[in-house]
Amino acid sequence: MPHDNALKLTGSATIPNGVGAPQHNGVFDGALAQGPLMSEREIRAMVDRETAAWDRQDAEALVSLFHPDMVWPWPPDAKSHDPASWVFPQGRYSRERWITGWQELFRTHELVHNVRKTVRVVVSAEGDGGIAVVDVDTLWRNRTDNSLFHWKGRACKGYTKVHQEWLLIFHTGLLDYAGRP
């Protein structure tokens, strides 16, 4: 016997209200039922596409992931958790400027390793926004003097869904959370 507060789905399945059943105006919404899980998979795929683009050193593939209003604030170092000290080294997204900057990085530096782990993905109840928390360990070696340029820490990547496509709209610089609760 279904719960008294259950929603009837197509066929014989029921989901009790209040147990994560997506609703619109109190009525079960089958499209929303598939949305959050599908959206989480899509955001994880976006993180994987970004990682692959860095691995290939493909600036065109990187910028294809960004919303035109993308912003990317950076802390001055990985221990600066207070955003009052953060900077905008690249400004608001500019396809040409960002491609040029990354192509210069790729020309002057060799990628030693690029290890990324998606820690968590959260999608809004509306299914139109989400974040991915990603641990990044990317090491570059300068081709001229062999000096190392290390990106290491945790990022929060914000995504927005526009016309059924997920795009990266903000990305925090990398922060070190070692020893923090």
Q: pLDDT per residue over 144-174, tens digit each?
A: 999 999 999 999 999 999 998 999 999 999 9
In the structure, what pLDDT confidence band is assigned to residue 92 with cuts at 50, 70 and 90? confident
In the structure, what pLDDT confidence band is assigned to residue 2 with cuts at 50, 70 and 90? very low
Report whether pLDDT(79) > 80: yes
Determine the pLDDT at residue 181.
62
A 10 A CB-CB count for 175 gives: 18
Q: What average pLDDT does the chain have?
A: 82
Domains and CATH numbers, the chain: 6-171 (3.10.450.50)
Average pLDDT value for residue range 89-94: 86
Q: pLDDT per residue over 132-147, tens digit each?
A: 999 999 999 999 999 9
Determine the pLDDT at residue 179.
72
Look at the pTM and tell me if it is higher than 0.85.
Answer: no
Average pLDDT value for residue range 112-127: 95
Q: How far apart are CA 133 and CA 9, in angstroms?
A: 33
Q: How far apart are CA 113 and CA 111, in angstroms?
A: 6
Residue 71 and residue 94 in contact, taking contact as beta carbons nearer than 8 Å: no
Q: pLDDT per residue over 14-51, tens digit each?
A: 333 333 334 444 433 334 444 667 899 999 999 999 99
Q: How far apart are the first and last CA of the chain?
A: 44
